[in-house]
């Protein structure tokens, strides 16, 4: 009997996991949300379970009890949570365990400890990792926060202990704004995580974000697969990634990688995980946090190491021993990942929803495409705006930059604006080309005018969009009426623009 794996996720990562499940001889079962009943990933699955979540505010992927109920009804052996949604929810992992379903990820206890940043930092200190100067745990209120900030000096960063995705985070430049920013960080943390605990870190003004990929098994073996640089961010969210990082010497890579492995071993970590570091302008590195799941940007690591991380997540969950040692991990060339988000970079990255009339991806042996959409897909407001990833491999950094630019020139999407033109501008910017870019790049260098020449192409695309409008309406009439309204409105908006 083939093992049945339920993917509690959607879009490109669901398809990515299905690929691994099939490679390992398993059946892939997916959940169909009423919020996107025609999604592309459904076509790849062996079995589709309608989740009937139309009446619920939350999509099925956030409903832990219901997912486990469905898994039990459908004789599921294992659940892969992907990223986001339930992937770092210790209660969900525990619920799976209690019901005899193999959760593909680390233990609930590990997820819980690493999910609370203040606990993770305490455990990191015990393993000898360097930390950014900061408060010892959460601070009680704005007054205490101001007192502490005065002792380490402004600017400081308020961070939510239970935070993720850059939420519940505020930079405080001076004492006068502490009270207001403390309240807004607290409110955001409460609404996003149900936990308003905030702690303080010294704010590094121009840092780089580097992270090490960890892989461990249930037998105490842990290795790392090198680093990724994810400094290209907006509002603390990653937009493009590369591996390796040009900012590390082989000695630093070894030091940071060894420390990451030591930490993971000390906490008894298994499955795929990521140790995030921040690097200041002097080249000093500090531990930031650990993510206990597969990352969006994992393909850049896979491309340069040849190791399939999702295959290993599944094998480790089944108790298999890592057959790879640290010496087996060799870095080959360089990889860049472009996140294609349906956001308008010329309009403060405002989310775009609507209909994808046509989408064309570049193809070559050096290009890997991970997408959750195709011609005719509808991007709804219910989910994240990342619709695809374009991952490119080159023999070295200049080679991969040139190939990624070429790939982006060949990519086209008619219907919605995306972050692809933005990424094209980054790839040509001197700070990126010389690898000096930091997490401040967008705030320091990006202006919508940078994309003006790109816009001419968009105008061309828009003309094509209007020509296709009749087709849209015809297709729209075939789509269930509840969505017609927004679709027509969207076509209308496009015409007015």
User: Could you list the residues that contact ligand ADP (CB under 6 A)?
Assistant: 132, 157, 163-166, 169, 201, 203-204, 207, 209, 233, 236, 276, 278, 288-289, 439
Beta pairing class for 386-394 and 334-341: antiparallel
- Least distance (Å) between residue 88 CB and ligand ADP: 10
User: What is the token pair recorded at 336?
Assistant: 């860049």
- Least distance (Å) between residue 206 CB and ligand ADP: 9
- Least distance (Å) between residue 207 CB and ligand ADP: 5
Using the minimum distance from each CB to ligand ADP, give the nearer residue, 188 or 308: 188
Judge contact between 388 and 340, C-beta under 8 A: yes
Using the minimum distance from each CB to ligand ADP, give the nearer residue, 207 or 257: 207
- Least distance (Å) between residue 444 CB and ligand ADP: 13
CA–CA distance, 139 with 199 (Å, rounded to integer): 6
Using the minimum distance from each CB to ligand ADP, give the nearer residue, 49 or 158: 158
CA–CA distance, 351 with 390 (Å, rounded to integer): 19
How distant, in Å, are the alpha carbons of 349, 355, 496 from that of 491? 20, 9, 9
Residues 6 or more apart whose Cβ sits within 8 Å of residue 1: none
Using the minimum distance from each CB to ligand ADP, give the nearer residue, 164 or 268: 164
- Least distance (Å) between residue 392 CB and ligand ADP: 22
Residue 496 burial by CB count (10 A; 0-12/13-18/19+): exposed, middle or buried?
exposed
Q: Where are the alpha helices (DSSP H) in 198-249?
A: none
Count CB-CB contacts under 10 A for residue 112.
17
| Residue bearing tokens 């870095």 | 331
- Least distance (Å) between residue 73 CB and ligand ADP: 34
Using the minimum distance from each CB to ligand ADP, give the nearer residue, 198 or 316: 198
Burial 405-429 (b: 16+ CB within 10 A, else e): bebbeebbbbbbbbbbbbbbbbbee
Q: Is 276 helix (H, G, I), strand (E, B) or coil?
A: strand
Using the minimum distance from each CB to ligand ADP, give the nearer residue, 167 or 393: 167
Q: Give catalytic residues, as residue numbers.
A: 293
How distant, in Å, are the alpha carbons of 121, 132, 166 from that of 170? 19, 16, 9
- Least distance (Å) between residue 365 CB and ligand ADP: 32
- Least distance (Å) between residue 293 CB and ligand ADP: 12
Which H or E element spans position 384? none
Using the minimum distance from each CB to ligand ADP, give the nearer residue, 288 or 314: 288
Note every long-range contact of 426-433, with CB atoms under 8 Å and residues 24 or more positions apart, other chains counting.
Answer: 426/232, 426/239, 426/240, 427/336, 427/401, 432/232, 432/401, 433/401
- Least distance (Å) between residue 115 CB and ligand ADP: 9
- What count of Cα atoms within 13 Å lies in the side-chain half-sphere of residue 273? 29
Using the minimum distance from each CB to ligand ADP, give the nearer residue, 295 or 418: 295
SS3 assignment for 73-127: HCCCCEEECCCCCCCCCHHHHHHHHHCCCEECCCCHHHHHHHHCHHHHHHHHHHC
Beta pairing class for 47-50 and 27-32: parallel
Using the minimum distance from each CB to ligand ADP, give the nearer residue, 276 or 344: 276
Q: What is the full DSSP assignment across 20-67?
A: HHHHTT-EEEEEE-TTSTT-GGGGG-SEEEE---TTSSS-GGG-HHHH
């Amino acid at each position: 009997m083939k093992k049945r794996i339920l993917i509690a996720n959607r879009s490109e990562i669901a398809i990515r996991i299905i690929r691994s499940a099939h490679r390992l001889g398993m059946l892939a079962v997916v959940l169909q949300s009423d919020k996107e009943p025609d999604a592309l990933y459904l076509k790849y699955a062996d079995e589709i379970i309608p989740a009937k979540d139309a009446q619920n505010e939350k999509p099925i992927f956030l409903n832990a009890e219901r997912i486990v109920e469905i898994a039990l009804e459908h004789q599921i052996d294992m659940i892969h949570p992907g990223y986001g949604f339930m992937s770092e929810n210790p209660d969900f992992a525990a619920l799976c365990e209690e019901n005899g379903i193999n959760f593909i990820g680390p233990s609930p206890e590990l997820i819980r400890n690493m999910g609370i940043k203040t606990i993770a930092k305490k455990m990191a200190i015990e393993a000898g990792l360097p930390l950014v100067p900061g408060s010892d745990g959460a601070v009680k209120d704005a007054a205490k926060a101001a007192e502490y900030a005065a002792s380490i000096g402004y600017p400081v960063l308020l961070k939510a202990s239970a935070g993720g995705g850059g939420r519940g985070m505020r930079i405080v430049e001076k004492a006068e704004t502490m009270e207001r920013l403390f309240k807004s960080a607290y409110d955001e943390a409460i609404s996003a995580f149900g936990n308003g605990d905030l702690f303080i870190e010294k704010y590094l003004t121009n840092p780089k974000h580097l992270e090490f990929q960890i892989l461990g098994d249930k037998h105490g073996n842990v290795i790392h697969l090198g680093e990724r640089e994810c400094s290209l961010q907006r509002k603390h969210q990653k937009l493009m990634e590369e591996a390796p990082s040009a900012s590390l010497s082989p000695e630093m890579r070894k030091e940071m990688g060894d420390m990451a492995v030591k930490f993971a071993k000390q906490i008894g970590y298994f499955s795929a995980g990521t140790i995030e570091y921040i690097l200041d302008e002097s080249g000093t590195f500090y531990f930031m946090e650990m993510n206990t799941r597969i990352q969006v940007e994992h393909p850049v690591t896979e491309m340069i190491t040849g190791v399939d991380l999702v295959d290993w997540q599944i094998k480790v969950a089944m108790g298999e021993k890592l057959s790879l040692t640290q010496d087996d991990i060799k870095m080959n060339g360089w990889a860049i990942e472009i996140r294609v988000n349906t956001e308008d970079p010329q309009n403060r990255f405002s989310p775009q929803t609507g209909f994808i009339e046509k989408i064309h991806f570049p193809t070559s042996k050096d290009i890997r495409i991970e997408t959750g959409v195709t011609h005719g897909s509808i991007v709804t407001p219910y989910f994240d705006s990342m619709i695809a990833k374009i991952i490119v491999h080159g023999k070295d950094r200049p080679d991969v930059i040139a190939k990624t630019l070429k790939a982006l020139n060949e990519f086209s999407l008619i219907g919605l604006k995306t972050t692809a033109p933005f990424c094209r501008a980054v790839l040509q910017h001197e700070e990126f080309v010389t690898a000096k870019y930091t997490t401040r790049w967008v705030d320091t260098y990006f202006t919508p005018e940078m994309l003006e020449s790109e816009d001419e192409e968009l105008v061309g695309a828009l003309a094509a969009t209007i020509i296709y409008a009749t087709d849209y309406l015809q297709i729209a009439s075939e789509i269930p009426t509840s969505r017609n309204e927004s679709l027509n409105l969207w076509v209308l908006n496009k015409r007015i623009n």
